[in-house]
């Protein structure tokens, strides 16, 4: 009887250990691919992060800070590159709060309806004439 109890306990321990290894091994597979980017220049700093999908992203966050006291507002937007090479810009998100202010947005999503190969963040100072903009490097979509 004693032998059977210890045998069952040993078998239960092996099964538990195997389940733990399987669970830990699958955690890496189930984790979501994320991206982040920063773009800045005189007068503006912007950052963003997101969770990739094949056709864009979900759970995106973006923030833009006015780092100059020049009276010009600042904004942030994304540029999206499709697998066919086309580039599209999202709607700018503006910060008109002035010197030292930061505006942020959460829960951002984008769905191009087809495969997205990369994204970059663009921050701009809304100055006279053409706006002055700064670009992050392209961030490749690991899902496409």
Distance, in Å, from the CA atom of 142 to the CA atom of 30, rounded to the nearest integer, reads 14
Given this model, what pLDDT does residue 9 score? 42
DSSP 43: T
Given this model, what pLDDT does residue 31 score? 58
Work out the widest C-alpha separation in the chain, in whole angstroms: 89
> What does the pLDDT profile of the chain (144 residues) look like in tens digits?
544 444 444 444 443 333 333 333 333 344 589 999 999 999 999 999 999 999 999 999 999 999 999 999 999 999 999 999 999 999 999 999 999 999 999 999 999 999 999 999 999 999 988 999 999 999 999 999
Angle subtended at Cα 53 by Cα 51 and Cα 56, rounded to the nearest 5 degrees: 90
C-beta separation of 56 from 89 below 8 A: no
Given this model, what pLDDT does residue 32 score? 85
pTM listed for this prediction? 0.78
**Dihedral, CA of residue 142, residue 31, residue 49 and residue 87, to nearest 10:** 20
Residues near 106 by beta carbon (within 8 Å), at least 6 away in sequence: 60, 61
Given this model, what pLDDT does residue 128 score? 85
Angle subtended at Cα 61 by Cα 57 and Cα 66, rounded to the nearest 5 degrees: 135
Given this model, what pLDDT does residue 8 score? 44
Strands (E), the chain: 34-41, 44-53, 56-66, 74-82, 87-89, 93-95, 102-111, 116-125, 132-135, 139-140
């Amino acid at each position: 009887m004693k032998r059977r109890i210890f045998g069952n306990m040993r078998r239960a321990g092996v099964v538990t250990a195997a389940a733990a290894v399987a669970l830990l091994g699958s955690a890496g597979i189930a984790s979501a691919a994320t991206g982040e980017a920063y773009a800045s220049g005189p007068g503006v700093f912007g950052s963003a992060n997101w969770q990739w999908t094949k056709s864009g992203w979900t759970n995106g966050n973006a923030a833009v800070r006015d780092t100059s006291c020049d009276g010009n507002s600042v904004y942030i937007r994304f540029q999206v590159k499709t697998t066919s090479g086309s580039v599209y810009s999202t709607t700018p998100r503006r910060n008109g709060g002035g010197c030292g202010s930061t505006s942020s947005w959460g829960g951002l999503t984008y769905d191009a309806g087809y495969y997205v190969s990369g994204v970059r963040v663009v921050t701009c100072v809304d100055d006279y004439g053409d706006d002055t903009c700064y670009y992050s490097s392209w961030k490749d979509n690991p899902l496409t």
